[in-house]
Structure 1
Amino acid sequence: MLRIAILDDERDQRENTHNLLSEYLNEHHIVAKVIDFPSARQVLNEVEDNAPFDIYIVDIVMPEMSGIEFGKLIRKLDRNGLIIYLTTSPDFALESYETHAFNYILKPVSAGKFASILDEAIQSLHKRLDSSIEVKTHSSIIRIPLDTILYAELSNRAVQYHLEDGNSVFSTTLTGAFRDAVSPLLDDNRFVLCGASFLLNLHFVKMVDKDGALLTDNTRISLPKTACPPLRAAWSNYWLEGGTK
């Protein structure tokens, strides 16, 4: 079941968004738990105490905490939820990229535009859920969702997949090149090779400098200096294109 949060300090706007969302979900036969929030702090508390949301529909201009400020904070708790901003001005579009927002909708919100953006969001969520890789280990075959892989590296002639939850999965001993072993990942625009034996998921990169990359979990990745400029370019392009698969 999808979890969707609606965050807007104005009751009328909140109810209007809720009604549009309910109509969309009913029309498309989608089961979802929708929770309305009048303040950003309530959403943050809900995520901390219970679970993150798949979609956050957020007003940008709010007195207690702006939607942009909320987006930056929610990204510390939830890197994957899709943020859809509601705004009265397109001037906020550039700022929304700081929070890796999925999209934004200008107010007053039309049913057609709202449905179009939700179509894209649902499609993105389905792709994410369906996207995985099978890894043969010494004891079994494991299917790993691509959006849980921070990075992969060559380790003792095997591929070591480092996962978001802190665990690692080791493949069986390679009989060919590292690039060939991770080739299914290279079909996904989130992943990029950094040298001959290292692969990064751009979605989890927080910063790239001349010595390597810093990931969102604060893991520091040291890379050859020649690998950093192309990595920085790939990382920038990834987020400029929307930061999704």
Structure 2
Amino acid sequence: MFRIAICDDERQFRKRIHDILIEYMNENDILYEIDEFESGKDFISLGINLAKYDIVFLDVNMDELDGMETAQKIRKVSNDVFIVFVTAFITCAPQGYSVGAIRYILKNNVNFPELIFECMDAISLNMNYVAQKKKFNFNEGTKIVALERLLYIESRLHKLEFLHYGGQVKKIFNIWQTR
């Protein structure tokens, strides 16, 4: 499971990043939790609990506590959090390396979604994260199931019902007879 924080003072960019991340997670069958914060101050107020996040998407230009200051405070708590700067300002990019940022993504880039996807691929690789999947053969065809999302398989008289977690419990397949 990926625990992600988005810290940006602009609601529309928080939502845009959130939507792109949900698309990425769903395409890759990854469980996730995404929380949003309006300021660096709000995020840092979590104290030691901010270390529960695997990834933090930070805007550089925020009131009170900017993204660079927020990143420095994150590093005082944890060196394991992946920091991704998402901003409209290229001038701060070199500073991002001083806090070990994995990416510096410009908000106005036409390839913004692709850059977020590539960033998540790089983070997955760095985390050695591999989605475990299993292939099941049914009379109606083959289905691949992400094991991380699988809650249980129920057998009912030679029929199988798969239930998985995707924000809520739901059936991912109709009941099929196995071969």
Bin of the TM-score, shorter chain as denominator length: 0.5 to 0.7
In 2, Cα distance between the equivalents of 1:108 and 1:120?
21
**Offset at residue 114 of structure 1 (A):** 1.2
TM-score by length of 2: 0.66
Partner in structure 1 of residue 113 of structure 2: 111
CA contact (8 A) 1:87 1:105 kept: yes
Paired residues in the alignment total: 127
In 2, Cα distance between the equivalents of 1:47 and 1:31?
24
**Offset at residue 35 of structure 1 (A):** 0.5
User: Given the alignment, which residue of 112, 115, 121 partners 2:123?
Assistant: 121
Residues 115-152 of structure 1 show CA distances to partners (whole Å, capped at 9, x for unaligned) of 1111101111117xxxxxxxxxxxxxxxxxxxxxxxxx
In 2, Cα distance between the equivalents of 1:99 and 1:2?
21
Larger relative contact order, structure 1 or 2 (CA cutoff 8 Å, min sep 6): 2
Question: Residue 80 of structure 1 aligns to a residue in which SS?
Answer: coil
1:127-142 to structure 2, matched below 5 A, reads none
Runs of 4+ in 1 over 6 A off after TM superposition: none
**Offset at residue 49 of structure 1 (A):** 4.1
Residues 33-52 of structure 1 show CA distances to partners (whole Å, capped at 9, x for unaligned) of 11011111222233524743
2:66 pairs with 1:72: no
In 1, Cα distance between the equivalents of 2:106 and 2:20?
14
Higher share of residues assigned helix: 1
Question: Residue 91 of structure 1 aligns to a residue in which SS?
Answer: coil
Residues 141-185 of structure 1 show CA distances to partners (whole Å, capped at 9, x for unaligned) of xxxxxxxxxxxxxxxxxxxxxxxxxxxxxxxxxxxxxxxxxxxxx
**Offset at residue 14 of structure 1 (A):** 0.7
Partner in structure 2 of residue 52 of structure 1: 52
In 2, Cα distance between the equivalents of 1:50 and 1:88?
25
In 2, Cα distance between the equivalents of 1:98 and 1:32?
28
Residues 67-123 of structure 1 show CA distances to partners (whole Å, capped at 9, x for unaligned) of 001000110011110000012132211011121111110112521111111110111
2:10 pairs with 1:14: no
Partner in structure 2 of residue 241 of structure 1: none
Structure 2 unmatched ranges of 5 or more:
130-179
Q: 1:23 to 1:64 in 2, by over 3 A?
A: same
CA contact (8 A) 2:85 2:104 kept: yes
CA contact (8 A) 1:47 1:53 kept: no
In 1, Cα distance between the equivalents of 2:42 and 2:35?
11
CA contact (8 A) 1:52 1:78 kept: no
Partner in structure 2 of residue 35 of structure 1: 35
Q: Which amino acid aligns with 1:116?
A: E
Q: CA RMSD in A?
A: 1.6
* Identity score, percent: 31
1:93-172 to structure 2, matched below 5 A, reads 93-108=93-108, 110-126=112-128
TM-score by length of 1: 0.49
Question: Residue 71 of structure 2 aligns to a residue in which SS?
Answer: helix
